[in-house]
Amino acid sequence: MKRIIKTALAAACLATAATSLVAAPASAAEPFKIGLIVPMTGPFASTGKQIDVAVKLYMQQHGDVVDGRKIQVILRDDGGLQPENTKRIAQEMVIQDKVNVLAGFGLTPLAFAAAPVATQAKVPMIVMAAATSSIVKKSPYIVRTSQTLPQNTAPLADWAATKGNIKTAITLITDYGPGHDAEKVFIKHFTDHGGKILESIRVPLQNPDFAPFLQRVKDAKPDAVFVFVPSGPGAALMKQFKEKGLAQAGIKLIGTGDVLDDDLLPAMGDEALGVVTAQHYSAAHNSPENKAYVAAFEKLTNNKMRPNFMSVGGYDGMHLIYAALKKAGPNATGDQLLAAMKGMSWVSPRGPVSIDPQTRDIIQNVYIRKAEKVNGQIYNVEFETIPNVKDPGV
Ligand code: PHB
């Protein structure tokens, strides 16, 4: 009984605090606060680090004042894979720090956990990393600057069946939201073109060991294995793919770009060469905007990091926030910022992008790429562009 009362009290306090936040539009004298929640430690720390550098780079290039209002980023590490932690941090940021925008969200379960907080507090929530299609439906305050798995998978499956000379495939995905999206969409598009799926394999998200699953692939002898793993475990997967001798057995590896993440590629061996993937960003994207972006990013990290797709999610998320604040004015409410974000378009290091005003999801080019050596280093070299791809859903 005591516990019930306590819980009810806590909920009431939270509701009051959230309401008072909504009721009082921040004055121009206070900084405009961006609550950035990303994994900076744990197995997905590279996502947080990439986004953190990109956010710092954006502010270095564009200043920390927009329309007379000082911008302050509050960075918090949620450690990855602890949704309750992410939710608690989001609540603290809304109630104590009085943030004007929530941003980051390295993995789907973390974005799901924070969504109700954004809705209750009426603050825009910029999803810079997580990529399950349904995320944007979890709150009307969510706007996404990353990608969706169906968006990158559908063009790859079409390419594999029509131009990649692949007739049979096995899908091998990480067993959670974005992997399920990738599996479903790959199977649909590949089989629509007459391709045959021999087996669908799901690998755990935590501490994955790919070896037994790759052995199953080897035994079944498909033309190709389609893989989705989130940014991080790709290097281990590629290493085991090589050790098991799948390439020698005539089995191609294809996937969404998450497996050949630019953050991991410099440390990968020749096992990556020739692998075809589809994604919205490559550090080798050939445009003046991207050349400038990669050079500035590498300079800021003393040439220790190459920017990956997570970084552009962060960089473009900052652009979206700055542009919305300029458009809606320095005292804009969360609702006014959100309205300003809908339909916005700009040229990103990844190419032209826009925010779908209906779904609040990003519309962007998807590129088919092959991993090749460029000046002695492996890059995903784009060879085909599918323009302005909307999330097709699942
Ligand atoms: C996700 O959890 O939504 C996610 C994370 C990393 C990726 C893709 C999707 O590379």
Confidence at residue 29, expressed as pLDDT on a 0 to 100 scale: 75
The answer to whether the CB of 231 is under 6 A from ligand 1 is yes
Confidence bin at 392 (pLDDT 50/70/90): very high
User: The tokens of 362 are what?
Assistant: 């990003």
Average pLDDT over residues 287-298: 98
The answer to whether the CB of 146 is under 6 A from ligand 1 is no
Angle between helices 108-121 and 177-192 (to 10 degrees): 110
Which residue has its alpha carbon closest to ligand 1 atom 8? Answer: 230
Query: What burial class does residue 298 get, using C-beta atoms within 10 Å of its C-beta: 0-12 exposed, 13-18 middle, 19+ buried?
Result: middle
- The atom number, within ligand 1, closest to the CA of 109 reads 2
Residue 163, CA distances (Å) to 157, 166, 189, 190, 367 in order: 10, 8, 13, 12, 14
Confidence bin at 275 (pLDDT 50/70/90): very high
- The atom number, within ligand 1, closest to the CA of 309 reads 10
Tell me the β-bridge partners of 173.
202, 228
Backbone angles phi, psi at 371, to 5 degrees: -75, 120
Which residue has its alpha carbon closest to ligand 1 atom 2? Answer: 107
User: The tokens of 138 are what?
Assistant: 């979890």
Residue 389 Cα to ligand 1 midpoint, Å, equals 18
Note whether 297 and 53 are within 8 A (CB): yes
Confidence bin at 14 (pLDDT 50/70/90): very low
- The atom number, within ligand 1, closest to the CA of 107 reads 2
The answer to whether the CB of 310 is under 6 A from ligand 1 is no
Confidence bin at 115 (pLDDT 50/70/90): very high
Confidence at residue 207, expressed as pLDDT on a 0 to 100 scale: 87
The answer to whether the CB of 110 is under 6 A from ligand 1 is no
Residue 108 Cα to ligand 1 midpoint, Å, equals 6
The answer to whether the CB of 127 is under 6 A from ligand 1 is no
Average pLDDT over residues 266-281: 96
- The atom number, within ligand 1, closest to the CA of 47 reads 6
The answer to whether the CB of 178 is under 6 A from ligand 1 is yes
Which residue has its alpha carbon closest to ligand 1 atom 7? Answer: 230
Please determine, for residue 16, whether its predicted confidence score (pLDDT) is greater than 70. Answer: no
Query: What burial class does residue 300 get, using C-beta atoms within 10 Å of its C-beta: 0-12 exposed, 13-18 middle, 19+ buried?
Result: middle
Please determine, for residue 3, whether its predicted confidence score (pLDDT) is greater than 70. Answer: no
In eight-state DSSP terms, residue 247 is T
User: The tokens of 249 are what?
Assistant: 């057995």
